[in-house]
Amino acid sequence: MTDKLFDIKIGYASPKNPIAVACMAGITDSKFAAGFKNAGLIVLGGYNLDKPTNDAARKEIERGRTEFVSDIPLEYLKSELEAAKDFTTIAVNVRAATLAPYIEAAKIAKEFNAILEINAHCRQPEMNELGAGEALLKDIPRLCEYIREIKKTGVVVSVKIRVNVVNDVELAKAIEKAGADMIHVDAMHPDGADIGVIRRIRNATNLFIIGNNSVVDFEVAKEMFSHGADMVSVARAMRTQPGIINNLVSEISSIQSMTGWYNAPKHICGGGDLRALAFCCLPVKPCALHGALKQAGINAEEFMKIKTDFVKKTPIEYGEGTCFGSMAWCCKITKPCFLRDSALESTSLSDVEYMRTKKRLSEHILKQSKIRK
């Protein structure tokens, strides 16, 4: 049922829904993943691609961590992709001490239409000493060189990061500029996920964003979606709540069926990201809109013109009886409003069509914005 509900595309990858399994080294192999085929994406691994990282992983095992190790790492990677190829969209999270093994892994991943996820996240000292994992966050030029070279294979590239290690916005911009397709954001924070980082990355880049950390129920997932995540992933909770992936898929599918925009932003005044300019009123009063426009590099007159021009010949141009005479200025469908609902009824516009038009409007506004350039 969910296969056609979402229209998600990242290069050659088309995840069937926006819920992902995040990897856990030594745990999320093809055997473990077989229990989570309903996810839109399964990130297998993390796999160690060369002798130095496999030796480092062996040392980690000695001190009690779980890891996947192999004397024939690339053959092992291939066998894992073979075993999981019919599950759903697959990514492989990988680490290596030099660029060459990443290139080999990228070629293998591409053969399987899988995504290659560069692990710039692991904090284990044995890996960091080799320049792998989080060491890549602290050496952005090398990370970007890896991305550029790996992209030459044609593989879809994700970069797994941990937030608050370096300047996240600068990091995300550099990752985008180097040619990566996706950023998988572990928004780790002592009080739960740092949602503000997801919003800042959303505002600054066009990258496909996977939000991660502390997703234990749909409330947390919804916060990530409404602040800019295109997808949300789960790691630890899969072990304590094996039904979590199915629950999240079911909840987000209902939202998509009812509204047509599963990750619609909160209003700007509710803390939403800049996509929410599509829901803003005419700029006639002092409110959070003005700060958001400044951030987007658009002045109030330009904003009025962008919206008014866009809605011409769309059904949301109309809006007699609404606050500003056109649904161009109307709120999100989840905000109850009988004025807008009666305008929708008079134009025979469904809630889903209304929200899809608002989504296109938001994309149009952000194309004119200077912030993502």
Ligand X SMILES: Cc1cc2nc3c(=O)[nH]c(=O)nc-3n(C[C@H](O)[C@H](O)[C@H](O)COP(=O)(O)O)c2cc1C
Please give the residue ranges that form the binding site for ligand SF4 (CB under 6 A).
267-269, 279-281, 287-289, 322-323, 329-331, 337, 339-340
128-185-156-154 Cα dihedral, nearest 10 degrees: -50
Which of ligand SF4, ligand X, none lies near 281, with the C-beta cut-off 5 to 8 A by kind? Answer: ligand SF4
60 lies in the binding site for ligand X (CB under 6 A): no
- Min dist. Cβ of residue 138 to ligand SF4 (A): 37
The CA radius of gyration of the chain, in Å to the nearest whole number, is 22
Which string of x and - marks every residue 68-87 that binds ligand X (by CB under 6 A)? --------------------
> Which range in 20-28, 281-289, 322-330, 333-341 contacts ligand X by CB under 6 A?
20-28
Sign of CA dihedral 338, 340, 341, 346: positive
- In angstroms, what is the minimal distance from the CB of 48 to ligand X? 9
Q: Does 33 bind ligand X (CB under 6 A)?
A: no
Whether 20 contacts 210, CB under 8 Å: yes
Distance, in Å, from the CA atom of 308 to the CA atom of 245, rounded to the nearest integer, reads 41
Is 215 near ligand X (CB under 6 A)? Answer: yes
Residue nearest to ligand X (CB): 46
Of residues 227 through 286, those in contact with ligand X by CB under 6 A are 234-237
Which of ligand SF4, ligand X, none does residue 79 bind (CB under 5 to 8 Å by kind)? Answer: none
Q: Which of 8, 76, 160, 328 binds ligand X (CB under 6 A)?
A: 160
Q: How far is the CB of 296 from ligand SF4 (least distance, A)?
A: 12
> Applying CB under 6 A, which residues contact ligand X?
22-25, 27, 45-46, 66, 93, 119, 121-122, 160, 186, 212-215, 234-237
